[in-house]
Amino acid sequence: MNRTSADGLIEPLSPKLRKVVERILDDVDDVVDDVFEKVWALVPDYVRARNPVLRKELHAAIALHAQVWFGALLRAKAPTEEELGPAAEFARHRVHQGVTLAGMLRAFRIGTAGFWSPLLEAAASDPKLHHELLFKVSPYMLYHFDMVQQAMSQAYNKEQFRQVRWRERLRQELWSVLLTRPDDVDSFRTHAEALGLNVVTPHCGVALRLAEVPALTSKLEESVDRITAGIARTIEVERDHFMRAVYRDCLVFWLPVPHGEALVDHDRRLATTAATIAKSVENVVAAGVGLPGTGPRAWRVSADQAVKAIERRAGAGDENMACRYSEIALDDAVAGSENVTRFFQALLERLSHEPHLLETLQTYFELRQHRKAVAAALKVHPNTLSYRLERIENLLGASLDNPAWVAKLHTALRMQRQTAARRPARG
C-alpha cells in the first residue's frame, strides 16, 4: 500500500469525533505520561541500558508519536517522510543506547495501545462514535502504526549495520596497534575507549585454536562471528564488550580481570571458562590462557602467551584442553635464552652416558622424591637408589636436598620431554 492509497483510508472525522481528538490532543501530556510509565515498567531494555539521556528521550519520542498520530487523524492525511524523520532518528539513537530492536518495537506496541485507548473510552457510551472508530478510523490505524514501525525498524537496522562495520574497523585498527606498535599508548587508548573498553583494568588474553581457518574473508568473518556469539553466551557478556582478533590460527580475545579478584584465582577460573568455551563452541579444538596486564604491550604479550600455552601443550589430551601459560612460564623463560637453554641441556648430557641415572632422576621427581616408592618403581634395592642419587649429585656437583637444584633438574627434564614431543616421529 503506497502513501496515496493510505491517504484514501483517512476520511475526514465527524465533527463530534474531531472534538474528541482535539480534546485528547489538548491534554495529550496525560496520555504520554501514562504510556511512558507503562513502557518503562514493561520493557526491561530501557532500564538495563543505564543511559542518563534515555529516560528523557523516551518521553520525547512518545510525545512525538502522539502528535503524529492524532495530527494525522485531524488532517485526514498520513504523515510525510519529513514528519517521520524524527521518529527514525530516535530509532537510530536506540542502537547506541543499548536498546534491542525487539525492545524498541515492544515499546512501540505499548504506545499504539496507549494512543488508541482514549479514543475507545470516549466512544464507550456513544454508538455512533464507536461505529466511526471501528469502520472509519481503525483501518487507517493499522496502516499508520505499521508504516511508522517500518520506518523505525529500517532506521534501526541501518544504524546497527553501520555501527557493526564501524566497530569492526576500530577492532582492526586496535589490533594493528597491538601487533605493530605496542608502545603507541595514545593510539591504544583512543581506539580501546572508542570501543567502550576499560584501559585501566588489567586484561587477559585467551586464545582459541580453530580446527579450520576459512580462506575466504567473508567465511572467516562468519566463523568468527559465530564463535564470538558462543563466547558471549558462555561468559554472559555482550559480544561488543570485549576485544577480539584472529592471530596464528587462533581467535584471541581479551577479558578484564574483575576488581578485587586475586590473579591466582583469576587464572584458575579463566582456565575453567576457556575449557568450557572450547568444548561447547564449534570449530574450537583447544584454548590457552595468558597472564593479565595493562596497556598495549601487555595485551600483546598476553595474547602471545595464550597461543604459546596451546602450542607447548599440544597433544596433551582433552583434559588439558584449556592450557595456562602460568604452567609453562618457567620453561618459556628458559627457552627464550639460548645460553640458558644450553645450560639445562648440558645438565642432562652429563648423565646421558649412564641412562639408568636419567631414568632414576625422572622417576624420583615423578614420585615426588619418596625414596621407598622410587626404589619399588625401579625394582632396585634402596641402597642402590641411594648410590644412584649420590652418583647424580657427584656428576653434577648438585645437592638433591637443595630446592634450587631440584627446580633446575626438574625444569631440565620437562624441557627434554617437550623437545621429544615436538620432534616428528620417524616412519
Q: Can you give the pLDDT at residue 7?
A: 53
Go through the chain and tell me how many residues it has: 427
By CB atoms closer than 10 A (0-12, 13-18, 19+), residue 167 is: middle
CATH 1.10.10.2840 fits 334-422, yes or no: yes
With beta carbons less than 8 A apart as the criterion, state whether 367 and 377 touch. Answer: yes
Dist CA 350 CA 353 (whole Å): 7
Fold observed for domain 3-163: Globin-like (1.10.490)
User: Smallest Cα–Cα separation from 372: which of 364, 160, 10?
Assistant: 364
pLDDT for position 4: 39
CA 48 to CA 46: how far, in whole Å?
6
Distance of CA 96 to the CA centre of its chain: 17
- Region of residue 243 (left: phi > 0; alpha: psi -120 to 50; beta: else): beta
* Identity at 304, one-letter amino acid code: D
How far is CA 149 from each of CA 68, 112, 129, 257, rounded to the nearest angstrom?
13, 10, 27, 41
Kind of pairing between the strands at 284-289 and 203-210: antiparallel
Buried b (16+ CB within 10 A) or exposed e, 110-130: bbbebbbebbeebbeeeeebe
Q: What's residue 315's pLDDT?
A: 45
CB-based contacts of 225, cutoff 8 Å, min separation 6: none
Average pLDDT score, the chain: 87
Each residue's pLDDT tens digit, 115-142: 999 999 988 889 999 999 999 899 999 9
Which segment of 165-179, 183-197, 331-345 scores lowest on mean pLDDT? Answer: 331-345
Q: Specify the pLDDT at position 214.
A: 64
Q: Which residues contact 112 (CB under 8 A, 6 or more apart)?
A: 145
> Is 319 a residue whose pLDDT tops 80?
no
Cell reading at 314 = 599440544
- Give the DSSP letter of residue 351: T
Answer yes or no: same fold for 185-325 and 334-422: no
Q: How does pLDDT run across 283-301, given as a tens digit for each residue?
A: 788 899 999 999 999 999 9
- What value, to the nearest 5°, has the Cα angle with vertex 302 and ends 297 and 303? 100
Q: Which position has the grid cell 558462555?
A: 234
Per the rule left: phi > 0, alpha: psi between -120 and 50, beta: everything else, 296 is alpha
- Rounded to an integer, what distance in angstroms lies between the CA atom of residue 386 and that of residue 210? 49
What single letter denotes the amino acid at residue 370?
H
Give DSSP secondary structure letters for 129-198: HHHHIIIIIHHHHHHHHHHHHHHHHHHHHHHHHHHHHHHHHHHHHHHHHHHH-TT-HHHHHHHHHHTT--
Q: Which residue has the higher pLDDT, 313 or 113?
A: 113
- Residue 154 above 60 pLDDT? yes
**Considering only the top CATH level, what class is 185-325?**
alpha beta
Give residue for cell 596433551: 316
| Per-residue pLDDT band at 223 (split at 50, 70, 90) | confident
- In the chain, what are the domain boundaries? 3-163, 185-325, 334-422
pLDDT in tens, 39-86: 999 999 998 877 889 999 999 999 999 999 999 999 999 999 899 999
- Contact status, residue 252 vs residue 306, Cβ threshold 8 Å: yes
**Residue 332 exposed, middle or buried by CB count within 10 Å (0-12, 13-18, 19+):** middle
Cβ of 305: how many Cβ atoms within 10 Å?
24
pLDDT at 352: 86
Q: Is 412 a residue whose pLDDT tops 90? A: no
**337 vs 348, 391, 408, 412, CA distance in Å?**
18, 29, 15, 14
Cα distance between residue 368 and residue 307, in whole Å: 30
pLDDT of 422 over the 90 cut: no
Position with higher pLDDT, 312 vs 163: 163
What is the rounded CA–CA span in Å between residue 82 and residue 23?
A: 26
Percent of the chain past pLDDT 90, that is, above it, reads: 54
Confidence check: pLDDT of 150 > 90: yes
